[in-house]
Each structure stands twice: as structure tokens, then as C-alpha cells.
């Protein structure tokens, strides 16, 4: 099966749009669920549908989300949305100050989301924190990595991201997102 090439997010307007946590969550759910209505998106996020229209318009305006048409539901017509590609990825441009600033704003927002989701999961108390079915992890490790070890670690992070993205079966959506986000946030700051 051919590997899907990710859509690279690089424009200043797209980066600025994703600095908002709500928009990151919308893109995350759309990438995972595919083409969905606002009602389905709202149910997955646990938010009222009315709170999402503003963000969907902003994401559509910058070209990250598109209206995928309409479908008939309960005698009426409802719009359905999807991301512009099955996989979206930030493009890091080290020599572009605006890009660096935009990427840092997005990562800061990701970390705030991870912290919020982590805290909510602990507070609810219905999450596994040990054993083979553990759902919640957080750690910080500092170490010196050789180039070979760094390459292995990057491959493992990519495999983890693919495993999480490929999982479309039943399960607790938010918990999987928390685990992947927290793990990737912790590992992405490794230096050699």
C-alpha cells in the first residue's frame, strides 16, 4: 500500500489558525474520523455544535478544512467537513522567523491541551494508569543521544503516531489522544 504524503502546513495564516487549541482539536478529530457533520464533530469533542462553526469557518478560510458536501439527515440537509488531506503535518522552516514563531505557538497550545486533558483524566478517575492497558502516561527524561539512537527514537515516534492514527475502531477517543499527545510532546524535545 503506498504511503500517504502528508499535507504540509507552512503558511503564516494556517499556522496562526492552528495556534487556537479548539482548532487543533477539530483538525485532530477530522483527521481521525474522516468526513463528519458538525453534530458528529461536536459529539466527539464534547462541545455544543454552535461553538464549532466559527472555528470551522476559520479553518476552511485558511485551507486546512473543506466542506465535503451535504447529506440528508432526519429529513433535512446537513453539511459535512473533512481535512484537506488524510494527514496534516507542520512544516518546520528553521530560517523563517514567522514560521518558527507560528510552530512554537502551536506546540505551546498542544502542551496546554495535553496538560488540560491529563488533568481532566486524573480528576475523573476512570482512566487506567498502570498495567498493559494503561491509558495515561507522562514523564520527562533527559539524556545524551547518539545520532543512531536519535534516529531509532524518531522511527519509534513515527510508528507510534501511525499506530494511533490507524486506530479507528471502538475505544475512548480522548484517552488515546491524551496518551499520544503527552508521549509525543515529551519525546519531541530530545536532543543529541
Sheet holding 76-83, edge to edge: 36-37, 76-83, 65-73
Q: What's the pLDDT band for 187 if we cut at 50, 70, 90?
A: very low
Domain boundaries, the chain: 7-88, 94-187
Class of domain 7-88 (CATH, top level): mainly alpha
Residue-wise pLDDT tens digits, 10-64: 999 999 999 999 999 999 999 889 999 999 999 999 999 999 999 999 999 999 9
Three-state SS at 129: coil
Q: Which residues make Cβ contacts (< 8 Å) with residue 182, sequence separation at least 6?
A: 114, 118, 136, 137, 138
pLDDT digits (tens, 9 = 90+) for 92-108: 999 999 999 999 999 99
**pTM for the whole thing?**
0.79
R_g of the chain, CA atoms, integer Å:
18
Amino acid at each position: 500500500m503506498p504511503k500517504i504524503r502528508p499535507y504540509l502546513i507552512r503558511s503564516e495564516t494556517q499556522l496562526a489558525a492552528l495556534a487556537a487549541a479548539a482548532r487543533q482539536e477539530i483538525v485532530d478529530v477530522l483527521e481521525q474520523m474522516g468526513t463528519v457533520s458538525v453534530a458528529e464533530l461536536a459529539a466527539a469533542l464534547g462541545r455544543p455544535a454552535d461553538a464549532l462553526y466559527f472555528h470551522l469557518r476559520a479553518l476552511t478560510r485558511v485551507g486546512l478544512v473543506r466542506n465535503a458536501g451535504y447529506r440528508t439527515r432526519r429529513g433535512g440537509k446537513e453539511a459535512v467537513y473533512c481535512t484537506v488531506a488524510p494527514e496534516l503535518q507542520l512544516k518546520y522552516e528553521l530560517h523563517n522567523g514567522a514560521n518558527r514563531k507560528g510552530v512554537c505557538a502551536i506546540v505551546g497550545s498542544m502542551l496546554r491541551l495535553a496538560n488540560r486533558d491529563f488533568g481532566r483524566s486524573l480528576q475523573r478517575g476512570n482512566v487506567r494508569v498502570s498495567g498493559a492497558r494503561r491509558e495515561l502516561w507522562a514523564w520527562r527524561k533527559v539524556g545524551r543521544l547518539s545520532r543512531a539512537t536519535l534516529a531509532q527514537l524518531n522511527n519509534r515516534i513515527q510508528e507510534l503516531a501511525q499506530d494511533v492514527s490507524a486506530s479507528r475502531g471502538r475505544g475512548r477517543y480522548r484517552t488515546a489522544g491524551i496518551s499520544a499527545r503527552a508521549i509525543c510532546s515529551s519525546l519531541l524535545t530530545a536532543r543529541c
